[in-house]
Amino acid sequence: MSDFDRDQYLIQQEPYYCPVHNEVAMYQAAYDARMPVMLKGPTGCGKTRFVEYMAWKLGKPLITVACNEDMTASDLVGRFLLDINGTKWQDGPLTVAARLGAICYLDEVVEARQDTTVVIHPLTDHRRTLPLEKKGELVEAHPDFQIVISYNPGYQSLMKDLKQSTKQRFGALDFDYPTAEIESEIIAHEGKVDKSTAEKLVQIAHRSRNLKGHGLDEGMSTRLLVYAAQLISQGIDPQSAARMALVGPLTDDPDMRDTLDAAVNTYF
Ligand SMILES: Nc1ncnc2c1ncn2[C@@H]1O[C@H](COP(=O)(O)OP(=O)(O)O)[C@@H](O)[C@H]1O
Ligand SMILES: [Mg+2]
């Protein structure tokens, strides 16, 4: 594969990432060992941003695949396509990443069916190979190739979980919402609001996170706080911004909406 192919997956500009614990050093060491890494944590807490930042820092191409339940092994590995000259093989994103030496990020991997997930097995152990059965080729992964998956333990159910034989191929990095101080800094930066507005948004989020398991499946994510801040910095009044970005997406239950609206009103 050419340099052009590789370069198009390089991240040109440093992504804004605020470290929360020692995750940068831990990831770097895991990458140096080419250890497959699993990022665990609730939605919207910074997992995707972190991978983008690490790919930039390491200077490696990044290929991201958003997993879903309709995804098949062929969607990852590749398939024969028909064109005017007959059939032509087209590599899937996992194969491209293995050939180029990219970091392959499988986002929300539990969404994929288990028979899809097993295709990553030979890439995650000493073999570092990917058999393209339909094509009759064994791809040897480029030395720079690494696989990263993300998953949200909160959504786990017996039906939807990774097999132990898959899980135990990865080192795990736990992600959670940052401390109030760091999260306010992120909101102020990403949403372009002043520090005091950012702090209030974070306080509201903390109230909602305490309701997790008490009527809410999840609290307000960092992502939603960024949305609210962005609306406020567009000139929208904070209460309307909070209703649109923080309360609406979280619940349809009228009582819970009242509870969350009340939390918003204590701060704005
Ligand atoms: N540690 C962080 N540093 C910088 N931005 C962050 C951080 N955590 C969250 N964010 C912000 O929150 C948004 C959502 O994060 P994202 O990485 O997409 O979440 P996830 O992949 O965990 O669902 C990002 O676009 C970014 O604006
Ligand atoms: Mg993500």
For 42-54, write each residue's pLDDT tens digit.
Answer: 999 999 999 999 9
Residues with beta carbon inside 6 Å of ligand 1?
16-18, 20, 41, 43-49, 178, 186, 190, 222-223, 226
**146-190: pLDDT as tens digits:** 999 998 887 655 556 788 888 899 999 999 999 999 999 999 999
Average pLDDT over every residue of 115-135: 92
Sheet order of strands, 171-174 included? 62-66, 103-107, 146-151, 37-40, 171-174
Please provide the DSSP assignment of 144-156 as one string: T-EEEEEE-GGG-
Selected residue with higher pLDDT from 84 and 156: 84
Which residue's CA is minimally distant from atom 5 of ligand 1? 17
Q: For strand 129-132 and strand 137-140, is the pairing parallel, antiparallel, or unpaired?
A: antiparallel
Mean residue pLDDT of the chain comes to: 94
Instruction: For residue 52, give the ligand 1 atom closest to its CA.
Output: 17
**How confident is the model at residue 231, as a pLDDT?**
98
Task: Return the pLDDT at 245.
Answer: 97
Q: How far apart are CA 205 and CA 211, in angstroms?
A: 10
pTM over 0.85: yes
| 3-174 is a CATH 3.30.565.10 domain | no
Q: Which among 43, 41, 16 is positioned nearest to 190, based on CA atoms? A: 16
pLDDT tier at 114, thresholds 50, 70, 90 = confident
Q: DSSP 3-state helix, strand, coil percentages of the chain (rounded to 5)?
A: 45, 15, 35
Q: What are the boundaries of each domain within the chain?
A: 3-174, 180-267
Whether 131 has a pLDDT exceeding 70, the answer reads yes
For residues 191 and 225, the answer to whether their CB atoms sit within 8 Å is: yes
Q: Give the residue among 248, 249, 234, 246 at the shortest CA–CA distance from 193.
A: 234
